[in-house]
Amino acid sequence: MKLHISFLIFILGLAIMHKPVYAQQTETLFNGEISHGGFGGPVVQIGRVAGSGAVWVGGRGGWIINLSEQHTISLGGGGFGLATNHLASEPQIGDPDTDYYAFSGYGGFVFEYTNRSYKLAHFTVSSLIGAGAVGLRESNYENFEDEVDTYFVFEPAIHAELNVTTFFRISGGLGYRFTSGINSFGFSDSDFSGLNAIITFKFGGFL
Protein backbone atom coordinates (compact mmCIF):
# COMPACT_ATOMS: atom_id res chain seq x y z
CA MET A 1 0.00 0.00 0.00
CA LYS A 2 2.82 2.34 0.90
CA LEU A 3 4.42 1.63 -2.46
CA HIS A 4 1.27 2.70 -4.33
CA ILE A 5 1.00 5.89 -2.30
CA SER A 6 4.64 6.74 -2.94
CA PHE A 7 4.18 6.11 -6.64
CA LEU A 8 1.11 8.41 -6.79
CA ILE A 9 3.00 11.16 -4.94
CA PHE A 10 5.88 10.82 -7.40
CA ILE A 11 3.57 11.12 -10.44
CA LEU A 12 1.75 14.10 -8.91
CA GLY A 13 5.07 15.81 -8.26
CA LEU A 14 6.13 15.36 -11.88
CA ALA A 15 2.84 16.83 -13.10
CA ILE A 16 3.17 19.89 -10.86
CA MET A 17 6.74 20.56 -11.98
CA HIS A 18 5.98 19.95 -15.64
CA LYS A 19 2.84 22.10 -15.97
CA PRO A 20 4.49 25.58 -15.79
CA VAL A 21 6.75 24.71 -18.74
CA TYR A 22 3.76 24.68 -21.08
CA ALA A 23 2.21 27.74 -19.46
CA GLN A 24 5.25 29.98 -20.01
CA GLN A 25 5.33 32.27 -23.05
CA THR A 26 8.44 32.12 -25.19
CA GLU A 27 10.48 35.31 -25.05
CA THR A 28 11.74 36.78 -28.34
CA LEU A 29 13.75 39.84 -29.32
CA PHE A 30 11.00 41.14 -31.64
CA ASN A 31 7.29 40.76 -30.85
CA GLY A 32 4.13 41.48 -32.78
CA GLU A 33 3.14 41.21 -36.42
CA ILE A 34 5.94 41.88 -38.94
CA SER A 35 4.91 44.16 -41.83
CA HIS A 36 6.64 45.15 -45.05
CA GLY A 37 7.11 48.18 -47.31
CA GLY A 38 9.52 49.64 -49.81
CA PHE A 39 11.12 52.86 -51.02
CA GLY A 40 13.32 54.38 -53.71
CA GLY A 41 14.73 57.79 -54.54
CA PRO A 42 17.67 59.99 -55.50
CA VAL A 43 20.76 60.61 -53.37
CA VAL A 44 23.35 63.41 -53.49
CA GLN A 45 26.73 63.08 -51.76
CA ILE A 46 29.16 65.98 -51.25
CA GLY A 47 32.78 65.41 -50.27
CA ARG A 48 36.28 65.54 -51.73
CA VAL A 49 38.09 63.59 -54.45
CA ALA A 50 41.79 64.03 -55.14
CA GLY A 51 41.97 67.12 -52.95
CA SER A 52 39.05 69.08 -54.44
CA GLY A 53 35.32 69.32 -53.82
CA ALA A 54 33.31 66.47 -55.31
CA VAL A 55 29.65 65.68 -55.92
CA TRP A 56 28.29 62.17 -56.41
CA VAL A 57 24.74 61.62 -57.66
CA GLY A 58 22.77 58.41 -57.68
CA GLY A 59 19.95 56.60 -55.98
CA ARG A 60 18.89 54.02 -53.44
CA GLY A 61 16.05 51.60 -53.01
CA GLY A 62 15.09 49.02 -50.44
CA TRP A 63 12.65 46.50 -49.01
CA ILE A 64 11.45 47.69 -45.59
CA ILE A 65 10.85 45.16 -42.80
CA ASN A 66 9.13 46.29 -39.61
CA LEU A 67 10.49 44.06 -36.84
CA SER A 68 8.70 45.84 -33.99
CA GLU A 69 7.28 49.23 -33.08
CA GLN A 70 10.77 50.50 -32.33
CA HIS A 71 12.97 48.73 -34.88
CA THR A 72 12.86 48.72 -38.69
CA ILE A 73 15.43 47.50 -41.21
CA SER A 74 15.69 47.78 -44.97
CA LEU A 75 17.58 45.58 -47.45
CA GLY A 76 18.37 47.01 -50.86
CA GLY A 77 20.97 48.57 -53.07
CA GLY A 78 22.38 51.84 -54.30
CA GLY A 79 24.61 53.27 -57.01
CA PHE A 80 26.47 56.57 -57.46
CA GLY A 81 28.45 58.37 -60.15
CA LEU A 82 31.03 61.15 -59.90
CA ALA A 83 29.58 64.39 -61.34
CA THR A 84 32.53 66.79 -60.92
CA ASN A 85 35.84 67.29 -62.75
CA HIS A 86 39.06 65.90 -61.26
CA LEU A 87 42.17 66.13 -63.43
CA ALA A 88 44.30 62.99 -63.75
CA SER A 89 47.92 63.84 -63.01
CA GLU A 90 49.31 60.73 -64.75
CA PRO A 91 46.79 59.56 -67.37
CA GLN A 92 49.39 57.19 -68.98
CA ILE A 93 47.12 56.64 -71.99
CA GLY A 94 45.70 58.66 -74.89
CA ASP A 95 47.00 61.93 -76.32
CA PRO A 96 49.65 63.49 -74.00
CA ASP A 97 48.47 66.98 -75.02
CA THR A 98 44.87 66.31 -73.92
CA ASP A 99 43.61 66.78 -70.38
CA TYR A 100 41.94 63.71 -68.96
CA TYR A 101 39.59 63.68 -65.98
CA ALA A 102 38.47 60.90 -63.66
CA PHE A 103 35.12 59.28 -64.18
CA SER A 104 33.99 56.89 -61.50
CA GLY A 105 30.96 55.03 -60.26
CA TYR A 106 30.23 52.48 -57.58
CA GLY A 107 27.32 50.55 -56.14
CA GLY A 108 26.38 47.64 -53.97
CA PHE A 109 24.19 46.16 -51.27
CA VAL A 110 22.79 48.56 -48.66
CA PHE A 111 21.59 47.59 -45.18
CA GLU A 112 19.81 50.25 -43.10
CA TYR A 113 18.46 50.29 -39.55
CA THR A 114 15.79 52.81 -38.51
CA ASN A 115 14.84 53.59 -34.93
CA ARG A 116 11.22 54.67 -34.24
CA SER A 117 10.31 55.21 -37.87
CA TYR A 118 6.86 56.50 -36.86
CA LYS A 119 8.36 59.59 -35.17
CA LEU A 120 8.36 62.88 -37.12
CA ALA A 121 12.16 63.02 -36.78
CA HIS A 122 14.26 59.92 -36.17
CA PHE A 123 17.66 58.49 -37.03
CA THR A 124 18.90 55.75 -39.33
CA VAL A 125 22.21 53.93 -39.71
CA SER A 126 23.18 52.53 -43.12
CA SER A 127 26.05 50.59 -44.62
CA LEU A 128 26.92 50.02 -48.29
CA ILE A 129 29.30 47.29 -49.41
CA GLY A 130 30.13 46.84 -53.08
CA ALA A 131 32.51 47.69 -55.90
CA GLY A 132 33.34 50.50 -58.30
CA ALA A 133 35.57 51.54 -61.15
CA VAL A 134 37.75 54.53 -62.05
CA GLY A 135 38.56 55.50 -65.63
CA LEU A 136 39.43 58.52 -67.73
CA ARG A 137 37.38 60.86 -69.91
CA GLU A 138 37.87 64.09 -71.79
CA SER A 139 36.37 67.28 -70.40
CA ASN A 140 33.50 67.26 -72.90
CA TYR A 141 32.33 63.77 -71.83
CA GLU A 142 32.48 62.64 -75.46
CA ASN A 143 35.51 60.36 -75.30
CA PHE A 144 36.09 57.74 -72.64
CA GLU A 145 39.13 55.49 -72.39
CA ASP A 146 38.55 51.74 -72.29
CA GLU A 147 41.00 51.06 -69.48
CA VAL A 148 39.51 51.18 -65.96
CA ASP A 149 40.71 50.44 -62.45
CA THR A 150 38.25 48.50 -60.26
CA TYR A 151 38.00 48.87 -56.49
CA PHE A 152 36.20 47.62 -53.40
CA VAL A 153 34.06 50.09 -51.44
CA PHE A 154 32.58 50.11 -47.93
CA GLU A 155 30.51 53.11 -46.81
CA PRO A 156 28.88 53.34 -43.36
CA ALA A 157 26.72 56.38 -42.58
CA ILE A 158 24.35 57.87 -40.01
CA HIS A 159 21.32 60.00 -40.97
CA ALA A 160 18.71 62.23 -39.37
CA GLU A 161 15.42 61.59 -41.18
CA LEU A 162 12.22 63.66 -41.38
CA ASN A 163 8.75 62.33 -42.28
CA VAL A 164 7.49 64.99 -44.73
CA THR A 165 4.36 63.06 -45.77
CA THR A 166 3.19 59.48 -45.39
CA PHE A 167 4.95 58.56 -48.65
CA PHE A 168 7.93 60.97 -48.70
CA ARG A 169 10.92 61.28 -46.37
CA ILE A 170 14.11 63.32 -46.54
CA SER A 171 17.31 62.76 -44.61
CA GLY A 172 20.67 64.41 -44.10
CA GLY A 173 23.67 62.50 -42.88
CA LEU A 174 27.38 61.88 -42.75
CA GLY A 175 29.17 58.88 -44.20
CA TYR A 176 32.71 57.72 -44.76
CA ARG A 177 33.74 56.01 -47.98
CA PHE A 178 36.53 53.42 -47.70
CA THR A 179 38.01 52.27 -51.02
CA SER A 180 40.62 49.62 -51.77
CA GLY A 181 42.30 48.87 -55.10
CA ILE A 182 42.79 52.28 -56.75
CA ASN A 183 46.34 52.74 -58.04
CA SER A 184 46.14 54.01 -61.64
CA PHE A 185 46.10 57.33 -63.56
CA GLY A 186 47.84 59.10 -60.67
CA PHE A 187 44.99 58.30 -58.26
CA SER A 188 45.09 56.24 -55.07
CA ASP A 189 42.62 55.00 -52.46
CA SER A 190 43.22 58.11 -50.36
CA ASP A 191 41.92 60.27 -53.24
CA PHE A 192 38.51 58.57 -53.21
CA SER A 193 38.18 57.69 -49.52
CA GLY A 194 36.82 60.27 -47.13
CA LEU A 195 33.92 61.92 -45.33
CA ASN A 196 30.75 62.80 -47.25
CA ALA A 197 27.62 64.81 -46.52
CA ILE A 198 24.59 62.85 -47.77
CA ILE A 199 21.12 64.04 -48.77
CA THR A 200 18.58 61.28 -49.45
CA PHE A 201 15.04 61.57 -50.81
CA LYS A 202 12.81 58.54 -50.17
CA PHE A 203 9.49 57.84 -51.84
CA GLY A 204 7.44 54.76 -51.08
CA GLY A 205 5.28 52.85 -48.66
CA PHE A 206 6.63 53.30 -45.13
CA LEU A 207 5.67 51.62 -41.88
Count of domains for the chain: 1
Does residue 174 lie in a domain region?
yes
What is the predicted pLDDT for the residue at 117?
A: 92
Average pLDDT, the chain: 86
Does residue 184 lie in a domain region?
yes
Distance CA 147, CA 122 (A): 44
Average pLDDT of the segment spanning 143-152 = 86
- β-sheet bridge partners, residue 57: 44, 81
CB distance 104 to 132 below 8 Å = yes
Does residue 38 lie in a domain region?
yes
Band the pLDDT of 142: cuts 50, 70, 90: confident
Does residue 129 lie in a domain region?
yes
- pLDDT (tens digit, 9 = 90+) per residue, 180-195? 999 988 899 999 999 9
CB distance 68 to 80 below 8 Å = no
**Residue-number span of the structural domain to which 74 is assigned:** 34-205
Q: How far apart, in Å, are the Cα atoms of 82 and each of 25, 69, 122, 137, 181? A: 53, 38, 29, 12, 17
Residue closest to 107 by CA, chosen among 147, 135, 76: 76
**What is the share, in percent, of the chain residues with pLDDT greater than 90?**
65
Residue closest to 131 by CA, chosen among 193, 180, 59, 185: 180
Here the CATH number for the domain that contains residue 77 is 2.40.160.20
Does residue 21 lie in a domain region?
no
Does residue 146 lie in a domain region?
yes
What is the predicted pLDDT for the residue at 135?
A: 92
Does residue 19 lie in a domain region?
no
Q: What is the DSSP string of 118-165?
A: TSSEEEEEEEEEEEEEEEEEETTSS-B-S--EEEEEEEEEEEEEEE-S
- pLDDT (tens digit, 9 = 90+) per residue, 5-58? 554 455 445 444 544 444 455 555 556 567 889 999 999 999 999 999 999 999
CB distance 54 to 104 below 8 Å = no
Does residue 142 lie in a domain region?
yes
What is the predicted pLDDT for the residue at 89?
A: 81
Q: What is the pTM of this model?
A: 0.80
